[in-house]
Structure 1
Amino acid sequence: MNFHRVSHLNHQGVRINELVIHSYEMGVYLAEADYDGRKAFLQDETGKAQRFHSVEEVRQLLDRCTICKAYLVHQSAYDEMCGCAEKVDNTLKVPLFVASVS
């Protein structure tokens, strides 16, 4: 799995083409950035995937760089209920407002 270090991205002059924030159970979020032609998850200083507790926390951590497009992505587990049709892709991808784009 590829990673981008958060500390390397959060600088003026860094342009993230697309930021995808993946929402998981229990209020855990992981962020994936398309930067310099590479899509990769954000990594903390210890080398582990950076976990977030809100979309706002992601925004605050990347407050210096330019984010062109951002999305919140969530997949629901409710399609696994008895009597329902076969599993289909139920991914919800919501565009997020990005305040500053250079």
Structure 2
Amino acid sequence: MKHRLSHLNFNDIEIPEVNIHSFEMGDYLLEVDYNDHKGYVFDDQDNIVKFRNVTQVKEALNECRVKHAYLVHQSAYDEMCGGAEGNSSELKIELNFKH
């Protein structure tokens, strides 16, 4: 499921949960759970929206109401230390997303 950024940022919209996924090279991707559908956020040209930091995500969603926001980081630590492949750990930290 894809969500359009241009369709989310309105005063009457309440988003139950957002996950900000941290990737290498400092990119952050926004996953939104809205209308019982979880999916990443795309622009109007069908490109996934990349953010440089959490503040940019907050600014992009400054009109809507976000109930819960999390910063999610996938760690390949287990794999790098000889652990099983595909058994990477996920770190999920709740953020204060109030404006």
TM-score after normalising by structure 2: 0.91
Moved more, 37-46 or 64-73: 37-46
Distance (Å, rounded) in 2 between the aligned partners of 1:45 and 1:81: 38
2:15/2:65 contact within 8 Å kept: yes
1:81 & 1:12 partners in 2: Cα distance?
44
Aligned-pair distance for 1:80?
A: 2.2
Aligned residues: 98
CA contact (8 A) 2:75 2:88 kept: no
Q: Could you say which residue in structure 2 is the equivalent of 1:81?
A: 80
Between stretches 87-96 and 6-15, larger displacement belongs to 87-96
What is the letter of the counterpart of residue 70 of structure 2? Answer: Y
- CA distances 1:18-46 after superposition (whole Å, capped 9, x unpaired): 00011000101110111111111111121
Unpaired runs of 5+ in structure 1? Answer: none
Which residue in 1 is equivalent to 2:38?
A: 39
CA distance in 1, matches of 2:35, 2:80: 41
Alignment-derived partner of residue 25 in structure 1? 24
TM norm structure 1: 0.88
Q: What's the counterpart of residue 93 of structure 2?
A: 94
Q: Does 1:9 align with 2:8?
A: yes
